[in-house]
């Protein structure tokens, strides 16, 4: 009888052809098939028999389906989010935005948070978990993504503090917020992406014109009017876009700085 540990090793070897993290992928899929946490699998369940659903999950991963879509969840910052088709998969790089916000509000907390392009509620719910007294609004133009966001808020017991609205960025908003977060699409339409991304995740959350700057041109004047006194906006960027996005925000009278991700690449522009 093949054990779960042996099956994970074999699956990782196969997944290596489609993933940069084959062992992690195999472990997450096995834990999901068993209905346990990954740590439980690794610490106590590697000698168990292989559950019947594992083989199908591996085959789906080999067809480039994102792991988060297969397991239906993704860890981000201090929370875990429900994700799936129609919603952008949260990336660790986006935690740079929360790190920048935490650095800005040292010794105090934002009372109000706005997340533009919230997807499954990623940045808003992470911020509300960081600051338990804060309230916030998440805006997205995808009904499907907002469905995930609302369910995530309910599951995380944040439904009373988080509101979600269908809209085109901040065009329908007239208030000001202590913290404005945004992870807009920033991939150029001619840029190549892995098949698991371009073949599964929503194009509207990825691509933004030939140079990848279309969303920033729309957002810059909106962000400038949304920041409350003493507040800050933190906007995710592609690693080559720091100068261009900083200039767009500076042209709106904002002071900007750039925050790097864990790999040392520019990942967010901070403006206030």
Taking the domains of the chain in order of start, what are their residue ranges? Answer: 4-63, 77-271
Q: What is the pLDDT of residues 204-235, one digit of tens each?
A: 777 667 788 989 999 999 999 999 999 999 99
Q: Which CATH fold topology does 4-63 show?
A: Helicase, Ruva Protein; domain 3 (1.10.8)
Q: Does domain 77-271 have CATH number 3.40.50.150?
A: yes
Please check whether the two domains, 4-63 and 77-271, share a CATH topology: no
Q: What is the pLDDT of residues 57-99, one digit of tens each?
A: 999 999 999 999 999 999 999 999 999 999 999 999 999 999 9
Spatial distance between the Cα atoms of 178 and 187, rounded to a whole number of angstroms? 28
Q: Does residue 197 have a pLDDT over 80?
A: no
Predicted structure pTM score: 0.93
Which position has the token pair 């691509």?
207
Q: Which two tokens stand for residue 131?
A: 């600051």
Spatial distance between the Cα atoms of 63 and 82, rounded to a whole number of angstroms? 21
Partners of 233 in the β-ladder? 180, 271
Q: Which two tokens stand for residue 229?
A: 């006194």
Name every residue whose Cβ is closer than 8 Å to that of residue 269 and which is 6 or more positions away in sequence.
234, 235, 237, 242, 245, 246, 249, 256, 257, 258, 259
Between the alpha carbon of residue 119 and those of residues 123, 227, 259, the distances in Å are 9, 21, 22
Spatial distance between the Cα atoms of 248 and 241, rounded to a whole number of angstroms? 11
Q: Are 245 and 269 in contact (CB under 8 A)?
A: yes
Backbone dihedral angles phi then psi of residue 175, each to the nearest 5 degrees: -90, -175
What pLDDT score was predicted for residue 45?
92
The better pLDDT of the pair 153, 195 is held by 153
- Strand (E) or helix (H) holding 7: helix 4-15
């Amino acid at each position: 009888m093949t054990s779960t540990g042996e099956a994970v090793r074999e699956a990782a070897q196969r997944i290596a052809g489609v993933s940069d993290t084959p062992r992690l992928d195999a472990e997450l899929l096995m834990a999901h098939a068993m209905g346990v946490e990954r740590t439980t699998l690794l610490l106590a369940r590697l000698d168990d028999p292989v559950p019947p659903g594992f083989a199908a999950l591996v085959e789906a991963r080999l067809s480039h389906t994102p792991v988060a879509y297969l397991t239906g969840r993704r860890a981000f910052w201090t929370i875990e989010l429900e994700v799936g088709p129609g919603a952008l998969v949260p990336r660790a790089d986006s935690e740079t935005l929360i790190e920048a916000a935490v650095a800005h509000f040292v010794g105090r907390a934002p009372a109000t948070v706005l997340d533009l392009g919230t997807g499954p509620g990623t940045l808003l719910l992470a911020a509300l978990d960081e600051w338990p007294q804060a309230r916030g609004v998440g805006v997205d133009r995808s009904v499907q993504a907002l469905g995930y966001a609302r369910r995530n808020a309910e599951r995380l017991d944040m439904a009373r503090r988080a509101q979600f609205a269908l809209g085109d960025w901040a065009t329908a908003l007239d208030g000001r917020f202590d913290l404005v977060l945004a992870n807009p699409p920033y991939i150029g339409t001619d840029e190549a992406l892995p098949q698991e991304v371009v073949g599964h995740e929503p194009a509207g959350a990825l691509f933004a014109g030939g140079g990848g700057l279309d969303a920033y041109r729309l957002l810059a004047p909106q962000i400038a009017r949304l920041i409350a006194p003493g507040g800050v906006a933190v906007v995710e960027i592609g690693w080559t876009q720091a100068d261009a996005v900083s200039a767009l925000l500076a042209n709106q009278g904002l002071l900007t700085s750039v925050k790097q991700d864990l790999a040392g690449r520019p990942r967010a522009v901070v403006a206030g």
